[in-house]
Structure 1
Amino acid sequence: MTTPRDAIYAEPLAQVSDFVFDERVVEVFPDMINRSVPGYQSILHGIKQLTRHYAQPDSNLYDLGCSLGAATLAMRQGLESDAPAAVKIIAIDNSQAMIERAERHIEGFRSSIPVQLKCEDIQASEFDSASVIVMNFTLQFIPPEQRQHLLERIYAGLKPGGVLIIAEKFKHPSTAMNETLIDLHHEFKRANGYSELEISQKRAAIENIMKIDTLETHRQRLQTIGFSEFAIWFQCYNFAAMLAQKPQ
């Protein structure tokens, strides 16, 4: 099935409203994220590999901010060949439109690995007996002052040796280097067919709801919470994926 092309910001808007994960976005989301996020498919492949490596028997695996379920499917694919006993994936998103479409996507791929979909705010979710928790471009939409508390709750819900996988857009501490990375990202979007108008209007729509951290902020916060190991396992321009492990 062909994915509709993202043209949400293709025409001039009298007023650019804050970005919302509504039905319009759901319809074009696969096209939008693949044309907007450098290395997105590589990150999904890495999530599959890391899930295979770190999933523990008798545990839950969480995809927080699951959108249409791409990371959920990657996690499940990682478990297909040699799944630990009694594992379940719990995919959570606060957009009902996303959850409804994710359910259809996930049902289209047969698997023995159970998936439970929940429409709720991850800041109100319970995390229990988790061995792998994924936040694939999710934390950046949580208000900055609330991130520490959410991550502390995630840490508490992880089993010993469990891991948190986070992919985020990030801010470089050097103003000059940050502008260079932004320019490279915009060139990536131009090469994928986005116009200057689309790039400008999307940036205006998202700047009030997506507040990004530096990679050092991510590292320090996770280590302060108690994660004993931290690594950046993917980076392209100002996008990165990180791995943090709870002590055994």
Structure 2
Amino acid sequence: MVKKDNIYASPLPKVKDFVFDESVVDVFSDMIERSVPGYQTIISTIGHLAKEHAQADSNIYDLGCSLGAATLAMRRNIDVKNCKIIAVDYSQAMAQRCEKNLASFKSNIETQVLCDDALKIKIENASFVVLNFTLQFIQPEDRQQLINQIYAGLKPGGILILSEKLRFEQPSVQSVIDELHLDFKRAHGYSELEISQKRSAIENVMRTDTLNIHYARLKTAGFKQYNQWYQCFNFTSMMAIK
């Protein structure tokens, strides 16, 4: 049974910076469903895209795999030979839970779970790479390096899926879309206290970029073909093809 996210339901004497520790891991499935509109659409589409574009004898990377939702979707759908999925998460609690979740489902696709920094992972012989709400938690000055490493390690025709929360260049647009997202969270049972405390916890940890910044980064890395394939409120997913 999915545990309900009530981490911020009671007043805290001091709101600490958000970390992906055991307490978050325990409620993460509920947290993400109630916080990220369209999350399941993104996950299922990642599975479909992996089925269509994963190449035989190649590596698939899920960088920032959390509980393994994208990895599971890809394993269920990929049907070419000799693919290996490498799932990576910086949080030991997340990596351990991901490994446990993956072990619950049989698959013929070799899968390796690593607790490591995505920046330290050598991307090689890759036909499909997923950054699903991961880049926004990496220091801004390191983001270009990671996109460069992914581009360098992709095979011709390889695809990067990049999902992120966006910020907007126009303050009035930012305000309207922020309110839409807050209404989404209220509709899913979060109180004003929970919303406020979570915002305080995450504001120094998750630093969002505009769509144009993402596009500029992809272009700098060498990608010539890239675009959004999904957006709901301030959440988007892009694909970039080498």
TM range (shorter): over 0.9
- Listed as ranges, the matches of 1:26-37 within 5 Å are 26-37=25-36
Which stretch has the larger CA shift, 199-208 or 219-228? 219-228
Alignment partner of 2:151: what SS? helix
Distance in 1 separating the partners of 2:138 and 2:91: 14
Identity %: 55
Which residue matches 2:69? 70
Which stretch has the larger CA shift, 28-37 or 103-112? 103-112
Which residue type is aligned with residue 67 of structure 1? S
The number of equivalent residue pairs is 242
Which residue matches 2:226? 230
Which residue matches 1:112? 108
Check if 1:211 corresponds to 2:210.
Answer: no
Alignment partner of 1:43: what SS? helix
Which residue type is aligned with residue 119 of structure 1? C
Tell me the CA shift for residue 94 of structure 1. Answer: 1.0
Tell me the CA shift for residue 160 of structure 1. Answer: 1.0
Which residue type is aligned with residue 96 of structure 1? Q
Q: Deviations over 1:87-121 (max 9, x none)?
A: 01000001111111111111111111111100111
Which residue matches 1:240? 236
Partner residue of 1:136 out of 132, 138, 141: 132
Runs of 4+ deviating beyond 2 Å = none
Superposed CA RMSD in Å reads: 0.7
Which residue type is aligned with residue 14 of structure 1? P
Which residue type is aligned with residue 100 of structure 2? R
Alignment partner of 2:158: what SS? strand
Which residue matches 2:59? 60
Check if 1:183 corresponds to 2:182.
Answer: no
Tell me the CA shift for residue 45 of structure 1. Answer: 1.0
Check if 1:40 corresponds to 2:39.
Answer: yes
Which residue matches 1:94? 90
Alignment partner of 2:182: what SS? helix
Tell me the CA shift for residue 178 of structure 1. Answer: 0.7
Which residue type is aligned with residue 76 of structure 2? Q
**Structure 1: tracts of 5 or more residues without a match:** none
Which residue type is aligned with residue 66 of structure 2? S
- Listed as ranges, the matches of 1:166-205 within 5 Å are 166-205=162-201
Check if 1:158 corresponds to 2:154.
Answer: yes
TM-score when normalising by structure 2: 0.99
Which residue matches 1:148? 144
TM-score when normalising by structure 1: 0.96
Tell me the CA shift for residue 245 of structure 1. Answer: 0.7
